[in-house]
Amino acid sequence: MSYTTMEVSDKVFDDAATAQMERIVADLGRMYHERNEALREVTRAHHEALLRLSLAADFRDDDTGVHIMRIGYLAEALALALGEAASFAHTLRRAAPMHDIGKIGVPDQVLKKPGAFTAEEREVMNKHPVMGAEILGRSRIPLFQLAAEVALTHHERWDGGGYPNGLSGEGVPLSGRIVAVVDFFDALTMDRCYRPAFPDDVALEMLAQQRGTAFDPRVVDTFIAHAADMIALRDRINTEPPTFEMLVGAA
């Protein structure tokens, strides 16, 4: 089969145009991959910095610093027990350890006070959710959006008597309702500078007493129904705490 001069010219042009388009597509693919890699590195670095700040805040209230690690894994387990998507539960595990990051701004004489707060001290203490949300910022990255949501809402109550915004019922984001329950139970069952740990059965009774007042009834019921698994998970973390790299995880 023979080609005219014009046909040959057109074919050469088409082949060149196709090759150029393939190079452009390849370059765009490489740029997209490099952009995503850069975003993952920035997210990881941001997460690491905020997690270290959260650890610093936790060390002021817990000599081991393992509390925030337990909160992450317990929150993930409870979310899964509630039937939430694995993607949400996984992100919550990474976000929940930053729930009390705002305590970095609370003075020791308030944070570690063994007795009841004065009105002024309570006002100072009640600012830490807002401070935490401000530290975590208004990022468009889902991890930090969820972490800010948890920091801001984990002291809200089902009955509307919490802080800082007096949200109630399902007006409190599920992430905050989950972390509120696991934080309550975990805090009761750990030694504090002003009291020894409560036994697990006593802490579960205290949790049940707050069902429908401080905490979402469904979240409490699910935690209690899976209490043996939750306690076993807590004990495993106490025995072999996750490494810092495991907490940061893949971006």
Give the pLDDT of residue 67.
87
Which residue in 124, 94, 88, 97 sits closest to 109, CA to CA? 124
Is 113 designated active site?
Answer: no
Q: How many domains does the chain have?
A: 1
State the CATH number of the domain containing residue 31: 1.10.3210.10
Residues 6+ apart with CB under 8 A from 190: 62, 67, 197
Contact 184, 207 (CB under 8 A): yes
Alpha-carbon distance of 13 to 18, in angstroms, equals 9
Annotated catalytic residue, options 103, 112, 113, 127 = 103
pLDDT (tens digit, 0 to 9) for every residue of the chain, 251 residues total? 555 655 545 555 566 666 666 676 665 666 655 555 655 666 666 677 676 666 666 666 655 568 888 999 999 999 999 999 999 999 999 999 989 888 888 888 888 777 788 888 889 888 999 988 988 877 778 888 999 999 999 999 999 999 999 999 999 999 999 999 999 999 999 877 667 889 999 999 999 999 999 999 999 999 999 999 999 999 999 998 887 677 776 44
CA angle 208, 209, 214 (to 5 degrees): 95
Give the pLDDT of residue 30.
63
Give the pLDDT of residue 250.
45
Q: In the chain, which residue ranges form alpha helices assigned H by DSSP?
A: 5-59, 67-81, 86-95, 108-111, 119-125, 128-136, 142-153, 174-188, 200-209, 217-225, 227-239, 244-248
* Encoded amino acid at 198, one letter: F
**Domain range spanning residue 160?**
5-248
Alpha-carbon distance of 147 to 99, in angstroms, equals 7
Give the pLDDT of residue 159.
98
pTM, rounded to two decimals: 0.79
